[in-house]
Structures are given as structure tokens and as C-alpha cells.
Amino acid sequence: MTTRKEVAELAGVSEATVSRVLNGVGPMKESTRKRVLEAAERLGYHLNAVASSFARGRSGNLGVVMPHVPKVHLFSTYYFSELLSGIGGAVHERGYGLLLLFRNPAEVYDYVSLFRTLRVDGAIVLGASSLPSEMAGIREAAAEGLPCCVMDQHFADIRIGTVAADHVEGAYRAVKHLLGKGYRRIGFLNGSPQYSNSADRLTGYRKALAEAGIEPDDSLLYAGNYSWTSGNAAAEKIYADLDRLDALFVSNDRMAIGLMKGLRDRGCSLPEDLAIVAYDDSDAARFSEPPLTTVHVPFYDMGKLAAERVLDRILDAAEGEQEPICDVLEPRLVVRKSCGTTKEDSF
Amino acid sequence: MTTRKEVAELAGVSEATVSRVLNGVGPMKESTRKRVLEAAERLGYHLNAVASSFARGRSGNLGVVMPHVPKVHLFSTYYFSELLSGIGGAVHERGYGLLLLFRNPAEVYDYVSLFRTLRVDGAIVLGASSLPSEMAGIREAAAEGLPCCVMDQHFADIRIGTVAADHVEGAYRAVKHLLGKGYRRIGFLNGSPQYSNSADRLTGYRKALAEAGIEPDDSLLYAGNYSWTSGNAAAEKIYADLDRLDALFVSNDRMAIGLMKGLRDRGCSLPEDLAIVAYDDSDAARFSEPPLTTVHVPFYDMGKLAAERVLDRILDAAEGEQEPICDVLEPRLVVRKSCGTTKEDSF
């Protein structure tokens, strides 16, 4: 590999001059500049991006920090893959690199070092929860005012950028649709409580019931963790409760599909025995039997917007304290057959 | 943020000494070393990873270069998401970062600069094809002997590392299964010809027919591009040919699902009117109607293995020329209902 020294010798200048020319730093005689560029060209010397980013104080990379869960193919889940596709689209447009980093969910992640060591110029946190270990790292990043955004999760006590969907509204529309079809005894299979968007769904569910004058019945609340397996496992309890349930709202498609398999295995006809509205509008929602009525969340757009917002912060780099990024996108209901209708429509 | 200068002042040494201590470069008096470390600790000075990787000549990142296709959510396709999950698993285990980079499919990508500028220490190329522009960049990387691996694509005239599945064998097993069920007039809907694994599938298809003593009939070859839309569009021609077709082998699940939709829209019953075997065994294969008999490809394992192989090359960094990485994994058939059987089995 050609060294800076060889370029300096061929051009008849010092190594420092080679660096200054190639990094475009400081004033320089045009004849010297040309001589250095020609020598670099002739020797095939590539400007060292690391040295160069060191000089500029930037890496050219946007970090995406996501949980590592052994045996779960996270990129293959609709949620993460769509968010990443959106982030990738924005990063490509701006000529940035996307540095994926994995954190162990139980450990405190050191976001601040990630920035201080110039590995990334900004970061997006995927799959964050309110577990104390996760919040500790995020709290520190927020305190430092780093260009940072947490995806689809908000915290009551941390002022940090977020791009999210309005899951109170999404859940509200799902349950309102079931109410509109005449169902009154509506249960709810929710995901893990450490995510703010699980709590938001519960709020939306309760709001729709309250508006319809229905007393909430906590014995119709079921607990899963957003996995197919947890939905499938919930089938036992829900099957036993079928005589007091008309319909069920489920916090994501994956659990709903696991649940429907469990119910069919117990001899149920769907949607006749139980009307279901799910959440996400993943690819699988269209292919499932029956196809799922579900809340469409614009994950791709959310990822793209989050990346654009963080890159804006990096590239504009305005002085002084800025308000945290805060964008909330609207979900919408997509009606298919699982709620007991054949009309394909959305509102 | 604390600077190197402040650490130097507190420790009473030069800035160069601070760098040498923190990077562990060169001999150093123990008392000086301790003074610098204490000053850095007291001031919360973080060693600059960029400066440090510059000193070591390594970035700590594995590059993954993938095509950017506007409006296609690549991370959401089963193929890319599983490969990336596997790569991510290996990278996490070794404490490396995964730098995702996007190339424009029509342009020559400069892999060599990626290495020379220390942005990555090794690279995996996803979605490579035999288009001349793609091959130009890969040929250059191969000539330089960089720690590099092309995923699931091989080239006749380039000696470069590959990790792939045996698609000749996969296609052969698919068609042999159809022959074993008594079908004789077997068509083939293939994907884009610029991928070596499309050519491999054609070879496997022809091999199985030849073994059964069946004369190949090129009028039963149909062309798609691995998208749902192209499968759906092929339905018109295939529907018109139904009187001379018993069964069809399709190069991926996505096209098969698009095709089945197109055939059902024209009033076909499946699998009664046409037996189908597809390829990939994506999530959608289980959810489709009828569920797909399909060739399972271990994409996750392929991604993991490719990353391990490249990281081995980086970290061992043996001197002298090495043989290119070359691993070929076995696909297997998963039998569901689309080929006209109800038995769920695999061989």
C-alpha cells in the first residue's frame, strides 16, 4: 500500500503538506496542491478515511443500536426489518454508512463512548424498553445532548428524541371498529409491559370501551410478549373463556397468528367463534387464514424520518441546546376477514 | 468533551506521550504511564477509537455491501433479512461492528477504497450478480486479495471467496419430488438470469428430467425476476398452458405466491389444477394458501458462516496468499400441500 511518505517524496513536500492538501485544511499554494494531487493519483494513494474523519471529528456513520436476542432472527421480524429499511433508505440518500451495533438487553449500553470515540456521529436506538438497565444508558446520552433518537418508545422521565406511532390512537381505532360491528365483550391480548407502546395500546383499548359505556373487565386481559409462541400459548386460556368473549384485540400480528393456530387446533372456526383485530399489518397479515384485520403502522416511514432527523442534527450541528426530536405518525386500520367481515377497506 | 491537551497538561507530559500511553505504543516509563492514565481517568478522557484504529490499522467493522433498490424494502425480504441475521449473530459474538453500505446496482462499486481507507477490515457482498459493472468491482477486490466474501453467487472467471447453497442439488430435489408423484409435464418459472443461482436451478431442473428420460421442452420455461409481481404476471401465460402442464417448479416462494394468486383469480383450484414446488422456505411459505412445498435454504447459517470466515481471515491475518473461502451448504425439501399431498415431511 502506498504511504503518505512516498507521496510526499514524489511531490517534494512534507508529509504534513500532503495531509493538509488531501484533507483540504488551511491555505495552500495552487502549484503545491496540484503537485500533491498528481503524486497521489500517480501512486494510487487513497486518502485515509479514518485519518480524515479524525481531522473532521466525524465518522460518516449513523449508529443503529439494537438488542441481540439469541436464536431470534431480529432482521426477519417485520418490525425491525421495516424500520431498518427506512433508516437504510435515508442513510443511502445522504451518503452515510449505517453502523449496526448490538447490545445485550440486560446490560447498560454505553452510548456516550460510542460518540466520544467517533465510531458514530449519531444514533438510533431500536427495541428500547423501560427496564432500568436500558434507561440508564439512554438517560446518559440524553444528558449529553447527543444526536440520538429512540424509536417507537417514549419515557416519562427522560427528555430524549423519539419517532413513534400513536399507539393510543391505533388501539382506539381497532377496538372502536369491533364495537361498531356490535361486539361488546371485547378482550385484549397485550405484549410485554416494559414497552411504552404496550401501555399505549391498553390506554386506547380502555378509551374506546369507556366511550361506548362499557365497564372494563380486567379478567378479559391476557398477557403475551409479542412472539408467535406467546400467542399460541394464550389460546388455552382464551379458548376456556370463549363463552364470555365476542371479540379480541391483539397487540401484534405475530401473536394473533399463533393464537389463531391454537384456537383452530382446539376445533374453533374463525372468525365465527371469535372476531380478532391485530396490529402491525405485516406481510403475514395478508397470508394468514383468515386474513387479519389489523392496524397498519408505517414502520418504514418512521425509520426513514428518524434517520433524517438525526442526520439533520449531525449535519446542521446548530449551536446551543435544541429541543429533542419528537414525531408521532398516524396508524390506520386495514379491514380484512378476521373481524368477521369480507369487505377489504381501511379508515 | 475533554481533549488530549488537557490530559497532557494535568499529567505534565506532551500530547504525543498521552497518545503513546493510551494506544500502548512504544516503550514508556511506568511512572509516566500511571500519571497519564490517572489524568485521563480523572478528566473522563475517552481514547479516540478512530485515532486508535488508525494506529492499529483496523476499524473494528465488518462491511456488508448490498444493492439499493428504491421502493423495495430489502431488509423485509426473507433472503436478505435471514442472511443479515446470521451475519449479525457472528459479528456480535466477535465484538465487531457491522457497517452496512449500499451500492447502486448499475455502478462499479469501489471495494478496494473501502479497505484502503480503513472503513472496514473485511466485507461481505450481498445480492451480487454477473452484470459487468458488478463484476468489475469484485474482480478488483479479488485481485488485491482482500478479506472478502460474495454471498450465494459464484463467478466462472473470478477467484473470490463465496459462501453459497447448492442450488443445482436443491432444484434437482424439487423436480425429483414432482416426478416421484407421477407428474411428467413439469414447467419451470425461473428468476433473473444474471444470478448464478438462477442458472444453477435450471441445471438441477434439467438434470432431474434427464434422469427420468424426459426430453426438455423449452416452451415450458417461464421468466420472472424473483418478485411477487413477476410471478403474478406469469400467471397469464401459465394459465394458457395449463392443458400441457401437470406441475411447475418455481425459483422462489415470493413468485410462487404471486403466481397462485393470479391462477386463483382466473378460477383455478390449487393444487388440483397445477402442482407447485417453490424455493426458499420463507415464513410466507407456511402461511400461503395452499401452504408451499418448497426447498429450504439455510440462509441464516450461510450468513453466519460467511461472517465467521471473513473475521477469521481478518483476525488471523496469516501471511502469504490464501485459498479463497469456499463453502457450499445443503438445501432440503419441505413437503406441504402445494404439490398435491397432505403429508408434512422433508427429505
Q: Residue B13 and residue B40: Cα distance in Å, rounded? A: 12
Residue (of A341, A50, A43) closest to B120 by Cα position: A50
pLDDT of residue A48: 52
Question: Where residue B16 falls among pLDDT bands split at 50, 70, 90?
Answer: confident
pLDDT of residue B115: 85
DSSP B58: -
Q: Residue A124 and residue A122: Cα distance in Å, rounded? A: 7
pLDDT of residue A249: 98
Chain A neighbors of B118, CB-CB under 8 A: 48-50
- Average pLDDT of the segment spanning A121-149: 91
- The identity of residue A137, as a single letter, is G
pLDDT of residue B239: 98
Asked casually if ipTM beats, i.e. exceeds, 0.90, the reply is no
> What distances in angstroms separate CA B98 from CA A119, B191, B250, B307, one per listed residue?
12, 29, 33, 10
Chain A neighbors of B102, CB-CB under 8 A: 88, 91-92
Yes or no, beta carbons of B54 and A54 under 8 Å apart = yes
pLDDT of residue A159: 87
Strand order in the sheet with A293-296: A221-223, A186-190, A247-250, A275-280, A293-296, A332-335, A345-346
Bigger pLDDT: A317 vs A312: A312
Q: Is the per-residue pLDDT at B275 higher than 90?
A: yes
- Of the candidates A50, A89, A99, which has its C-beta nearest B99's C-beta? A99
Let me know if B107 is exposed, middle or buried by CB neighbors in 10 A (0-12, 13-18, 19+). Answer: exposed
- Average pLDDT of the segment spanning A68-92: 86
Chain A neighbors of B60, CB-CB under 8 A: 119
Residue with the three cell numbers 398477557:
A223
Question: Where residue B172 falls among pLDDT bands split at 50, 70, 90?
Answer: very high
**Nearest C-alpha in A relative to B65:** A97
SS3 assignment, position A167:
helix
pLDDT of residue A117: 79
pLDDT of residue A344: 43
Q: What is the DSSP string of A237-280?
A: HHHHTGGG-SEEEES-HHHHHHHHHHHHHTT--TTTS-EEEEEE
Q: Residue B147 and residue B236: Cα distance in Å, rounded? A: 46
Q: Is the per-residue pLDDT at A346 higher than 80?
A: no
Interface residue of B3, B15, B50 to substitute, partner A, most A CBs within 10 Å = B50
- Of the candidates B54, B74, B82, which has its C-beta nearest A76's C-beta? B82
From the CA of A146, how many Å to the nearest CA of chain B? 12
- Average pLDDT of the segment spanning B30-57: 70
Strand partners, A97: A61
Yes or no, beta carbons of B116 and A46 under 8 Å apart = yes
Q: Residue B160 and residue B310: Cα distance in Å, rounded? A: 12
Q: Is A18 in contact with A36 (CB distance < 8 Å)?
A: yes
Q: Is the per-residue pLDDT at B119 higher than 90?
A: no
Question: Where residue A116 falls among pLDDT bands split at 50, 70, 90?
Answer: confident
B110-143 as b/e: b if 16+ CB within 10 A: bbbebbbbbbbbbbbbbbbbbeeebbebbbbbbe
Q: Is the per-residue pLDDT at B342 higher than 60?
A: no
Angular region, B24: left φ>0, alpha ψ -120 to 50, beta rest: left
A50-80 as b/e: b if 16+ CB within 10 A: bbbbbbeebbbbbbbbbbbeeeebbbbbbbb
Q: Is the per-residue pLDDT at A34 higher than 70?
A: yes
Mean pLDDT of chain A: 88
Q: Is the per-residue pLDDT at A51 higher than 60?
A: no
Q: What is the pLDDT of residues A176-219, one digit of tens each?
A: 999 999 999 999 999 999 999 999 999 999 999 999 999 989 99
Strand partners, B249: B188, B277
Q: Which of A30-34, B20-24, B73-77, B252-256 has the lowest mean pLDDT?
A: B20-24
> What distances in angstroms separate CA B251 from CA A20, A222, A225, B254, B333, one per listed residue?
54, 41, 35, 9, 13
pLDDT of residue A6: 86
Q: Is B339 in contact with B177 (CB distance < 8 Å)?
A: yes
From the CA of A86, how many Å to the nearest CA of chain B? 8
In the numeric block, which cell numbers belong to residue A4?
503518505
Interface residue of A19, A23, A48, A50 to substitute, partner B, most B CBs within 10 Å = A50
Q: What is the pLDDT of residues B236-246, one digit of tens each?
A: 999 999 999 99
Q: Residue B122 and residue B306: Cα distance in Å, rounded? A: 11
In the numeric block, which cell numbers belong to residue A14?
512534507
- Average pLDDT of the segment spanning B161-189: 97
- Average pLDDT of the segment spanning A237-256: 97
pLDDT of residue B259: 97
Residue (of A187, A182, A172, A180) closest to A245 by Cα position: A187
Q: Is the per-residue pLDDT at A288 higher than 90?
A: no
Question: Where residue B86 falls among pLDDT bands split at 50, 70, 90?
Answer: very high
- Average pLDDT of the segment spanning A77-102: 90
Question: Where residue A278 falls among pLDDT bands split at 50, 70, 90?
Answer: very high
Q: Is the per-residue pLDDT at B52 higher than 60?
A: no
From the CA of B280, how many Å to the nearest CA of chain A? 14
Yes or no, beta carbons of A92 and B288 under 8 Å apart = no
Domains of chain A: 4-56 (1.10.260.40), 61-165+300-329 (3.40.50.2300), 167-296+332-346 (3.40.50.2300)
